[in-house]
């Protein structure tokens, strides 16, 4: 592992216009109007622990205003009854504006969430692609004309209309703030809904800037509102609000369960994209070099702060030593450093509390008999860094093997046969993703069938596309986002029967 950290000023490499934007306390955006009548919340750079900005923090009254604004915008003629082609053009215009500001947003996510700038640029570009895909979704929404089989066909006609839900509450995580909103908001808007966004309290900046850019692209006031705040205050007020018609949450399983329970009081439908403890399985007939690079590259992506990270690696005993050595070689070559340094491949964790949690899980595993093949400790200096870590000898009883670590930590375990591989992979309450590396078609088909995961990648990993549904099995979530699944997720059907 190489470190380039020198404690240099966080904003030294930030473009001047963004630096000026950060110097002003950022207001909420409600109904297209900046709202700053609230206490400030300091935003920290995780690579130094220093304050880089502050935002107005929403209370329950601000959430109520935002929901009312979204409701008014939803019912306005210039949105709810907007032609699908016009709605698509607005989303496409927003995508073009975001694309012009893509490097600014990439820098903002880098300093706000600690994402290495190269990866941040890729994530923002993917978000633009999601917007462009969603722009076409508006025209793909349609109902059906039916000939009822139980009613006289010459006396009755039947139609099934597909309509938007209304006001969608979007609660976002901290691991890729602007990029995550770009990835999700297009489908919410394309289906004719309006939104109130509550970004993570650690990373509120990206959502605020995205909303400003959307407004500049011509989105009507109130269609997209952003209310930064604490989960226990703004988040709770949003989830419990009777004026919210649907909730989209991305985050931990623990928080997702609390949200689902609170939303049940109003019977508000909830889409949950939750945690993962995803397995990667390496068979002896795989291209081992490619498997090692792919698994390690994705396990340490975003310093392991990624819901689909392949944190449990199961390797056939025949090639176990070779794969373990390869994973440690990749981990050792990673450049740990400040996010705006182009040479950095591994940035910090989001906070000191998250670093201590990760180190605590690793330490408990080592005390229980696991071994650190590489890494296993913090990186000296400012910021919230943990060395990329590969563990062996972990067991199901260890918390580091059982819980989602959300840090640059993976465990490597041998298996002897395909039945054992399936059992080990599925021995988790999570089921978000899985990766299979093999040269055998029969093995690939067997694993595709038997793995309990919403996303299975064969000889690749984290291969996303806005046309593909995304979601998890078991405690990794409920419902699906992206692709045609997003139309089902954010619309409802109305059956109309007419006597002729």
Question: The domain containing residue 410 runs over which residues?
Answer: 279-466
Residues 354 and 490 placed together within one structural domain of the fold = no
Residues 428 and 490 placed together within one structural domain of the fold = no
Q: What percent of the chain has pLDDT over 70?
A: 97
Mean pLDDT along residues 306-314: 96
The pLDDT score that the predictor gives to residue 153 is 61
What residues does 171 pair with on adjacent strands?
198, 249
Residues 484 and 365 placed together within one structural domain of the fold = no
Q: Rounded to two decimals, what is the model's pTM?
A: 0.94
| 300 in a structural domain | yes
Structure tokens at 453: 């995961």
Residues 60 and 173 placed together within one structural domain of the fold = yes
| 353 in a structural domain | yes
For residue range 322-332, list pLDDT tens digits in order: 999 999 999 99
Distance CA 197, CA 217 (A): 18
| 47 in a structural domain | yes
Residues 107 and 188 placed together within one structural domain of the fold = yes
Distance CA 389, CA 300 (A): 9
For residue range 335-383, list pLDDT tens digits in order: 999 999 999 999 999 999 999 999 999 999 999 999 999 999 999 888 9
| 3 in a structural domain | no
Residues 288 and 224 placed together within one structural domain of the fold = no
Structure tokens at 410: 């993976």
Residues 237 and 296 placed together within one structural domain of the fold = no
Residues 486 and 382 placed together within one structural domain of the fold = no
Residues 29 and 64 placed together within one structural domain of the fold = yes
In this predicted structure, the answer to whether residue 143 has a pLDDT above a threshold of 80 is no
In this predicted structure, the answer to whether residue 471 has a pLDDT above a threshold of 60 is yes
* Number of domains composing the chain: 2
Which residues are part of the catalytic machinery? 273
Residues 270 and 288 placed together within one structural domain of the fold = no
Residues 179 and 317 placed together within one structural domain of the fold = no
358 and 386 Cβ atoms separated by less than 8 Å: yes
Structure tokens at 280: 């990667």
CATH code: domain of residue 453? 3.40.309.10
| 252 in a structural domain | yes
What mean pLDDT value characterizes the chain? 94
| 4 in a structural domain | no
In this predicted structure, the answer to whether residue 213 has a pLDDT above a threshold of 90 is yes
In this predicted structure, the answer to whether residue 5 has a pLDDT above a threshold of 60 is no
| 373 in a structural domain | yes
CATH code: domain of residue 54? 3.40.605.10
Residues 263 and 289 placed together within one structural domain of the fold = no
Closest C-alpha to 386, from 410, 368, 370, 369? 410
6 and 340 Cβ atoms separated by less than 8 Å: no
pLDDT band at 266; cut points 50, 70, 90: very high
Strands (E), 118-183: 144-146, 156-164, 167-171
For residue range 174-203, list pLDDT tens digits in order: 999 999 999 999 999 999 999 999 999 999
| 2 in a structural domain | no
């Amino acid at each position: 592992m190489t470190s380039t950290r020198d404690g240099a000023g966080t904003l030294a490499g930030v473009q001047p216009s963004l630096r000026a934007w950060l110097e002003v306390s950022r207001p909420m955006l409600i109904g297209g109007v900046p709202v700053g009548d609230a206490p400030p919340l300091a935003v920290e750079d995780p690579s130094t622990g220093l304050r880089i900005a502050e935002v107005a923090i929403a209370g329950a009254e601000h959430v109520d205003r935002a929901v009312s604004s979204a409701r008014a915008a939803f019912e306005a003629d210039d949105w709810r009854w907007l032609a699908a082609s016009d709605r698509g053009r607005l989303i496409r215009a927003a995508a073009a504006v975001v694309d012009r500001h893509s490097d600014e947003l990439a820098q903002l996510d880098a300093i706000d969430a600690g994402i290495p700038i190269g990866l941040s640029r890729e994530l923002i570009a993917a978000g633009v692609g999601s917007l462009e895909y969603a722009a076409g979704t508006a025209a793909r929404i349609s109902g059906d004309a039916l000939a009822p089989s139980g009613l006289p066909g010459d006396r009755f006609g039947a139609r099934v209309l597909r309509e938007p839900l209304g006001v969608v509450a979007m609660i976002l995580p901290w691991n890729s703030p602007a990029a995550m909103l770009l990835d999700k908001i297009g489908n919410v808007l394309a289906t004719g809904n309006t939104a109130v966004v509550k970004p993570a309290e650690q990373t509120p900046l990206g959502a605020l800037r995205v909303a400003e850019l959307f407004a500049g692209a011509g989105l009507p006031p109130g269609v997209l509102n952003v209310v930064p705040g604490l989960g226990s205050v703004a988040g709770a007020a949003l989830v419990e609000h009777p004026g919210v018609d649907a909730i989209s949450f991305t985050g931990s399983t623990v928080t997702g369960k609390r949200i689902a329970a609170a939303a049940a009081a109003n019977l508000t439908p909830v889409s949950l994209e939750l945690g993962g403890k995803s397995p990667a399985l390496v068979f002896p007939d795989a291209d081992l070099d490619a498997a090692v690079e792919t698994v390690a590259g994705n396990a340490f992506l975003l310093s392991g702060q990624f819901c689909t990270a392949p944190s449990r690696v199961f390797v056939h005993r025949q090639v176990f030593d070779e794969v373990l050595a390869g994973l440690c070689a990749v981990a050792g070559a990673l450049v740990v450093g400040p996010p705006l340094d182009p040479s950095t491949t591994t940035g910090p964790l989001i906070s000191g509390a998250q670093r201590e949690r990760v180190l605590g899980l690793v330490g408990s595993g080592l005390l229980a008999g696991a071994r650190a093949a590489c890494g296993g400790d913090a990186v000296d200096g400012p910021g919230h860094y943990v060395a990329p870590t590969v563990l062996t000898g972990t067991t199901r009883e260890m918390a580091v093997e059982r819980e989602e670590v959300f840090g640059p930590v993976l465990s490597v375990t041998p298996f002897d046969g395909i039945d054992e591989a399936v059992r080990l992979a599925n021995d988790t309450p999570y089921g978000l993703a899985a990766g299979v590396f093999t040269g055998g078609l029969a093995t690939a088909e067997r694993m595709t069938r038997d793995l309990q995961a919403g996303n299975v990648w064969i000889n690749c990993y984290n291969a996303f596309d806005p046309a593909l549904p995304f979601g998890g099995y078991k405690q990794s979530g409920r419902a699906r986002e992206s692709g045609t699944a997003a139309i089902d997720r954010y619309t409802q059907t109305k059956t109309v029967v007419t006597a002729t």
